[in-house]
Structure 1
Amino acid sequence: MLSPMKPIDFEVERTISAPIERVFARLADIEGYNDWMTGTGSMLKHTRQTSPGEPRVGTTFEDDTVPGVVPGEIVELEAPHTLVYHWWQRSRSGKLKFEGWPSYRLASVGDDETLVRHRGRLVPYGVWRLGTPIFRWLAVRERTITVDALKESFARDRGAP
């Protein structure tokens, strides 16, 4: 069995014109991504929460993406500062192909702005690790689209062009 390569790690930062509590709430609202990620060029087509209740550690979801349906869960949640998701993709035979940990660390910048530090971590397994340079590019692109769409969603809320 091939071991995983070194994880692909990167960070994207944006300052968003909205209070930290609102930014955190939007990031934790799994099905809300369907509203603000639409039409962004993301691989995400649709997402849905698969466990009941308010988002918390252990809340599960499924992302319908261009490559297929990807399950995941919230693994860390400390409102309004920290949110970490974990997702995985398996082959038809059940072997792990990829795991990802998109995380958000939020900090207030004054009363009406929030610094979002979005860290991405992706681990390819087996033969998939051979494509690490391409997967790095795709992961950085996808996570940048997400943070930019989040920022734009708040700009639309304010009525900005």
Structure 2
Amino acid sequence: MRPIEFELQRTIRAPIEEVFARLIDIEGYNDWMAGSGSMLNSTRQTSPGEPTVGTTFVDETSQGEMPGEIAELERPHTIVFHWWEESKPGKLKFEGWPSYHLEPSGDAETLVRHGGKLMPYGVWRLARPILRRLALKERTTTLDALKASFERTPGV
């Protein structure tokens, strides 16, 4: 069975290096995602050092803990995360690959192409239409929060 896939785009009024730096700062999501309506409550990096391919993290979500890692990284253009959720016996329920592809756009602007890829397993495959809507909502919320984080007036 094929994964659920889609792509969203936003132009963000910030240089590509700043947008990339915000996306690669795993624990920084706690600042700009707070109060966005996302299922993400908090996230923490679980491996030491600067984020690179293989860096691990854990997302605390409304659905519980979800481990993940950075699967691809090409500064300052591409970052792909990989996360998964397992059942108590250790069988995969879902895997996801949220990706960000950045291009300079105009004067100090960045075009962000945000890809969503979700693979349900087992009985969860039956819920594909619902999962697609939920994933699209979550990825839209994330991308809108990223954009808003660059548009906030300092001190407000």
Whole-Å separation in 2 of the counterparts to 1:109 and 1:94: 44
Shift of 1:10: 0.3
Match of residue 137 from structure 1: 133
Shift of 1:26: 0.2
How many residues in Structure 1 have an aligned counterpart in Structure 2?
A: 156
| Deviation digits for residues 24-60 of structure 1 (CA, Å, limit 9, x no counterpart) | 0000000000000000110000000000011100000
Amino acid of the structure 2 residue aligned with 1:44: L
Q: CA RMSD in A?
A: 1.3
Q: Percent of aligned positions with the same letter in both sequences?
A: 70
Whole-Å separation in 1 of the counterparts to 2:2 and 2:137: 19
TM-score normalised according to structure 1 size: 0.94
Match of residue 60 from structure 1: 56
Amino acid of the structure 2 residue aligned with 1:125: Y
2:118 maps to 1:122: yes
Amino acid of the structure 1 residue aligned with 2:66: V
2:78 maps to 1:93: no
TM-score normalised according to structure 2 size: 0.97
Whole-Å separation in 2 of the counterparts to 1:6 and 1:65: 25
Structure 1 unaligned runs (5+)?
Answer: none
Structure 2 unaligned runs (5+)?
Answer: none
| Of 109-118 and 28-37, the range deviating more from structure 2 | 109-118
| Deviation digits for residues 82-109 of structure 1 (CA, Å, limit 9, x no counterpart) | 0000000000010000000000000001
Q: Equivalent of 1:12, from 5, 8, 14?
A: 8
Q: Equivalent of 1:42, from 24, 38, 41?
A: 38
Which secondary structure state, in structure 2, belongs to the residue aligned with residue 107 of structure 1? strand
Q: Equivalent of 1:111, from 107, 110, 115?
A: 107
Which secondary structure state, in structure 2, belongs to the residue aligned with residue 141 of structure 1? helix
Which secondary structure state, in structure 1, belongs to the residue aligned with residue 76 of structure 2? coil
2:18 maps to 1:27: no
